[in-house]
Copies of this chain bind each other. A is one copy, B any other.
């Protein structure tokens, strides 16, 4: 038995730290409790802006992230706004693509599989009659989402398929979009 020393980085992920994290969470499951927070402000018409707030995880608050990132959303003219940013459903596709990619990259790293490039194309189709309340049988959101992933690296077709499978198997956003999440909406007293 040899003991590994130093750090090992695969796919830009420090695998030694990743394994330490897994070990720490195994020993102290409460470290796995993470909370992510944002605030969003309406800016008129279809435009609004999100600010990322402090997050919590591994038993600590991260106040240095409070206000660090802002993201806008808007709607194109065909949906009656000024097209100053991607719209909310495009942001959902971004969240999904980003999460599936990061999940493939991290889980491949943990298995010692180096990747050269990952690129994905997503499309979601929706019937606006849902949002417009013209037909109660038409859903408001996407009817379906297709994700085409291209993985580049010194890998067999089978290994590429395995990497893609890791994405849908362990991605938090993929889990939420395909399995649903309970959402509680409340009016704050001002």
Contact = CB atoms under 8 A, between A and B. Distances in A.
Interface string A123-163: 11111111111100011111111111111100001001100
A121 B168 contact: no
B38 A186 contact: no
Nearest to A148: B188
A174 B179 contact: no
A80 B185 contact: no
A132 B20 CA distance: 12
A157 B189 CA distance: 9
A141 B37 CA distance: 14
Q: Is the interface of A mostly helix, strand, loop or mixed?
A: mixed
B35 A176 contact: no
Contact of A172 (B88, B94, B97): B88
A62 to B, nearest CB: 6
A130 to B, nearest CB: 7
A145 B182 CA distance: 6
Contacts of A83: 65, 68
Contacts of A8: none
A122 to B, nearest CB: 5
Contacts of A167: 185
Contacts of A148: 186-188
B179 A48 contact: no
A53 B89 CA distance: 13
19 contacts: A12-B46, A21-B132, A25-B134, A29-B129, A37-B121, A38-B94, A38-B121, A39-B120, A60-B78, A65-B83, A88-B102, A88-B171, A88-B173, A107-B133, A130-B170, A130-B175, A139-B175, A157-B187, A177-B183
